[in-house]
Amino acid sequence: MSDESLNWERKPKGFIAKGVAPWAGFVVTLKTLFSKPVTEQYPFEKIEPYPRYHGRHQLNRYPDGLERCVGCELCAWACPADAISVHAEDNTPDEQYSPGERYGADYQINYLRCIFCGLCIEACPTRALTMTTDYELAGPDRAGMIYEKDQLLAPLADGMLAGPHPMAPGASDTDYYAGKVTGPAVEQIEWVRAHRPADPSVAGAARRAQEGVKR
């Protein structure tokens, strides 16, 4: 760097510049004074977040009602804030909660630690964990900010069959991942009806299975 660039001097302002400079800030103030307010009257008026907003997490299901989470714990390993805890157990013929061998028996997310970065979503191999646009996560105490599996698991959609129940006949876990299972089969419905006659999801699943046969 030359000596000339170090020893520069600011040129003095002209007469007009000196007169206008003090009023430049007031121009912004006057514009804001007469503009329309943008205050959001929350919680009386709630603004819908953008579709890709990172809010509360959700554990998803397959179309037949089985859970997508296989308890691999990759989301917990990817979390930079150590906010996720997963405990997996083995599926059995009488208690099949997800396709394959294992399922997430216990699932916790500590929202006092979560930074909503979305790395857990990218790490999930089965698309079991996604993020909703729900941003109202305040709780009355610290314990209420630790969400359990029953709070994170997506509710049954119309036509889904509540677990546990066997996988679709002849289907493998790969078929589930590939989207080849589009709803509960008659064999699955009959299994739930035999083991849990009062299960309210049987009626909706049977109706959906009948509609699929007609098509």
The pLDDT-based confidence of 5 (bands split at 50, 70, 90) is low
Which of 16-20, 58-62, 126-130, 145-149 has the lowest average pLDDT? Answer: 16-20
Task: Write out the DSSP string of 135-147.
Answer: -----SSSGGGEE
Interval 69-114: pLDDT, tens: 999 999 999 999 999 999 999 999 999 999 989 999 999 999 999 9
From the list 164, 149, 153, the residue with the least C-alpha distance to 92 is 164
Alpha carbons 201 and 198: distance in angstroms, whole number: 9
Mean pLDDT of the chain: 89
- Domains of the chain in start order, with CATH, are 57-214 (3.30.70.3270)
> pTM for this structure?
0.78
pLDDT > 60? residue 8 = no
Better pLDDT: 109 or 139: 109
From the list 154, 213, 155, 203, the residue with the least C-alpha distance to 182 is 213
